[in-house]
Amino acid sequence: MDRKLFYEQDEQFSFEAYGVTIHCQKLDISKDVVYHVTFSSNRKPIVIARARFEESEARWTSIPEGRQKEAEGLGALIEQYLSTND
């Protein structure tokens, strides 16, 4: 039985921000928007997701939690990149 927990879509892109190249791989996890992000610097990779919390608008968060500010900033950069490159 060849069942995967998640499937990677072949949707990769890179852009530069603040002197660092940011590499993004979109992951297909259920119906959620999730990105595995790596950097050209020594910063550790991060997985971010667009999540909806109780009685609030959807926002970017890190998986696992703990790098919230970074996730929000990266999410905004990804949204900006996608809106100008579609």
Domain ranges, residue 60: 7-84
Residue 82: phi and psi, rounded to 5, are -65, -35
pTM of model > 0.85: no
Mean pLDDT, residues 31-55 taken together: 89
Q: Is 86's pLDDT higher than 80?
A: no
Residue 2 within any structural domain of the chain: no
Separation CA 2–CA 13 (nearest Å)? 28
Closest CA to 12 of 23, 1, 28: 23
Residue 1 within any structural domain of the chain: no
Q: For 61-76, write each residue's pLDDT tens digit.
A: 999 889 999 999 999 9
Say what the pLDDT of residue 30 is.
Answer: 73
Domain count, the chain: 1
Mean pLDDT, residues 17-39 taken together: 90
CB 43 within 8 A of CB 74: no
